[in-house]
Structure 1
Amino acid sequence: MADSAVPLPFVDVRMPTVSAGQPVPVVLIHGWASGSVYWEPLVEKLLDGGRTVWVLDLPGYHPGEELPQDFEWTLDSAAASVAALISDRGGRPVHVVGHSMGGSVSLTLAASRPELVATVTLVGMVPAPQNEGFKKLLVSQLRQGFFDAATKAKLMNAWYGPLTDNEMAWLGKGFDVPFAILSASAMAAMTGVGPSVPGRVQAPLLVIAGTGDRVRSIDQMRDFVAVGRNRQLKAIPDAGHNVHWERPDECAQALHGFWRTSWHSPA
C-alpha cells in the first residue's frame, strides 16, 4: 500500500467487453480543474478497441476525499501518488495519457519511475511557456480566494468552445474541489516541470494537439517534438485544448497506432 503521506489516487477501472489481447492498461490523468468526466468520449473508443482503461482522479479531486494533513500538492507528489497506484496494482508498465497539467504529472512520473511507464502521451500540452493572458487570469482568481462564475465560463469557453448548459454543469465539476487543492494544483500547472525532466523521459512519447489550442500553440508542440528523440506529434485540425473531448475517434486512432508500433511487452 501507499505511504500515508502519498495517498493513492481514486481509480475507476474500465474493462472492455472484448479484449484486444493487450495486457497493458491505459492510465488517463486529467488536467487542472478538470476531473475525470471529460475523458468519457475517449474511454468509450478505447474500450471499443479492446483496451483496459484506468480513469484517475488526482489527489483531492475525487468528491468527498480527505487528504493527509501533511500532503503537499505538487507535480512530484501527484506523480508519486500515481506511481504508488501502479505499484499497488502489480507494478507492471502502463501506457500513461496526460492532458494539460496531467501531462506534466505524466512527464514527472516517466522521468522519476521509468520502470512503471511503457509510453507517454501528452494531450494538449508540452512543457513550454503558457499563454500570458491565461496565467494572469488564474493568478487574479487565486489572489481573491475563489473562482467567480464569469471566470469559470471564460476558462471553459477557452478550453472547450461552445457548450450546452448541461455540458457546462457536468464538465465544470472540476472547479468544485476544495480551493486549497485547486490553488495548489494551479500553481503546479503554471510552474510546470523542471527543465531537466523531458530529457530524462526514455519512454516513447506522443503529443496529440488540436491546431486551434488556445493554451499551448501548435508551434510549441512542433518545437518540443523536433528537439527530442523518440517523440511524435499527431496534429488534429480545428480542434482545441480538450481535443480528446472534441475528437475522440481521431485521438483513439492515434493512440492505438502509437501503442501498436512504439512499445512491445518484454518476453
Structure 2
Amino acid sequence: MSTTASFVPVPFLPRARPPRPAPGPLLADPATLPPRDPHRGPWPGAEVVSGGVTLHVRETPGPQDTPAVYVHGLSGSATNWTDLAALLATRAAGTAVDLPGFGLSRPLASRDYSPAGHADALLCFLAGRGRPVHLLGNSFGGAVALSVAARRPELVRTLTLVSPAMPDLRPDPRRVSDPRLLLSLLPVIGRRARAALAAADPRARAEQVVRLCFGDPGIASEHRLAEAAAEFAARERLAWAREAAERTGKAMVAGWLRGESLWSVASRVQAPTLVVWGERDRLVAPRLAHRTAAAVPRSRLLVLPGVGHVAQIEAPDPVARAVAGMWDAVDAGTWEEPG
C-alpha cells in the first residue's frame, strides 16, 4: 500500500472585484425647466381610490405620457414634493401620495405600518392605475419605492431615490442635533422621547425637523416653516397620526435589527435609477451613497455638497436638473454609460 499522498489540483479562484462605482448624473439644460416660485403653496389634494387602496394625494398638472409619483419619508407628507413637482411639471404630471396614516391619508384597515405594508399599499395603488410611472422616494419613501420597483418592474419606468433609508445601525455623531428625534424611533425606550416631541408646539417641531434634515437650516424660508407648522398642527387633530408615525418608525428600525436588508432588494431593480444624496445628511449616512448606487444595476449618482437629508426640499433646482436629465436620456436611449 503506497503511503504517498496524491495531489489534487485546486482550481484558481480569482478575487471578487469590488462593485463598479456608479457614473455621475446627466443634467438637463436649466433653460428647459420652469422658474421656481419660492412662495408656491401645496398642490390641490383629494382622496383617490386605486387598486383597492384609498390615499390622499396632491396632483400636479402636466403631460400624461408617463406620470411621476412622489413618496415622502417618515413623518413627512405629499407637501414635501411641492417645489420639485412644480419644476418637473413641464415634463410629467405628478401625483404626490400621503402614505397610509400620514399626511391626510387614513390608515389601512389592517393597521399594517411595516415597510412591507406600506410597499404593498403603494404597489396596489400604482397597479390600479395600470401604467408605468416615474417613481421618486425620499428616506423611508425611498425604501418603499425601492421595494416596489424590485417587485413590480413593469410599473416603474424610472426610479429616483433621495437619501433612501438603507439599513444603518452604526453610531453617527451628526445625528444628535436633537437626540429625541432619533430616540423616538426606538421601541420601548423611545416612549419618553416621543412624548416630549408631541408636547412641543407645532412651530418648534417644524424648526427641530429643519435643524435635523437640512444641511443648512438657515436657508429654510419663513413661508415653508409656517406651512410645516400648520401641517403639524393639523395632524395633531387626526386620531391616527401619532400611531402611524410611531409604529412605522419602530417597524423600520425593528427590521434593521432583525437583519432585513434592502441591499439584496436593490440588486433586483431593473429600472434606470438616479440616487441623490446630500453630503450633510444627518439621518442616513452619506457614506452609503456610493454603496447604494453600486447596488442598483442601472444607476447614476448625484451627491450635493452642503445639502442634508431632504434634497428635494433644500435644493430642488439641481435635483430637478438631474431627474429631468435622466428622463430625457431614458427617452433617448442614452442613459446607459458608454462601455
TM-score range normalised by the length of the shorter chain: 0.7 to 0.9
Counterpart amino acid of residue 168 in structure 2: P
Q: How does 1:116-265 map to 2 (within 5 A)?
A: 116-125=155-164, 127-129=166-168, 132=171, 133=175, 135-139=182-186, 142-144=190-192, 145-146=194-195, 147-148=197-198, 149=200, 153-160=207-214, 161-162=217-218, 163=220, 166-172=223-229, 173=231, 176=235, 178-190=241-253, 191=255, 194-195=261-262, 196-262=264-330
Which amino acid in 1 is paired with 2:115?
Answer: L
How much has 1:102 moved relative to structure 2? 0.3
Deviation at 1:189, TM superposition (A): 3.8
Q: Mark the CA change 1:97 to 1:174 in structure 2 (over 3 Å): closer, same or farther.
A: farther
Unpaired runs of 5+ residues, structure 2, are 1-49, 177-181, 334-339
Quote how far apart the aligned CAs of 1:255 are.
0.2
Residue 90 (structure 2) pairs with residue 42 (structure 1)? no
Partner SS state of residue 62, structure 1: coil
**Contact kept in structure 2, 1:34 and 1:174, CA below 8 Å:** no
- How far residue 10 of structure 1 moved from its aligned partner, in angstroms, is 1.8
Which runs of no fewer than 5 residues in structure 1 stay unpaired? none
State the SS of the aligned residue for 1:107. helix
CA distance in 1, matches of 2:289, 2:271: 18
Is the partner of 2:249 in helix, strand or coil?
A: helix
CA contact (8 A) 2:71 2:97 kept: yes
Q: Percent identity?
A: 26
State the superposition RMSD in angstroms: 2.7
- Count of residue pairs the alignment pairs up: 255
Structure with max Cα Rg: 2
TM-score by length of 1: 0.83
Matched-pair contact (CA < 8 Å) for 1:8–1:84: no
Q: CA deviation at 1:208?
A: 0.9
Contact preservation (8 Å) 2:269, 2:296: no
- Pairing 1:82-97 to 2, within 5 Å after superposition: 82-89=122-129, 91-97=130-136
Aligned residue for 2:300, secondary structure, equals: strand
Q: Which amino acid aligns with 1:38?
A: N
C-alpha displacement of 1:264: 6.8
Give 1:151 deviation, angstroms.
6.8
| 1:23 pairs with 2:65 | yes
Distance 1:50 1:259, change over 3 A: closer
Return closer, same or farther for 1:200/1:13 CA change in 2, 3 Å cut-off.
same
Determine helix, strand or coil for the equivalent of 1:8. strand
User: CA separation in 2, counterparts of 1:156 and 1:180?
Assistant: 22
Q: Equivalent of 2:100, from 59, 65, 68?
A: 59
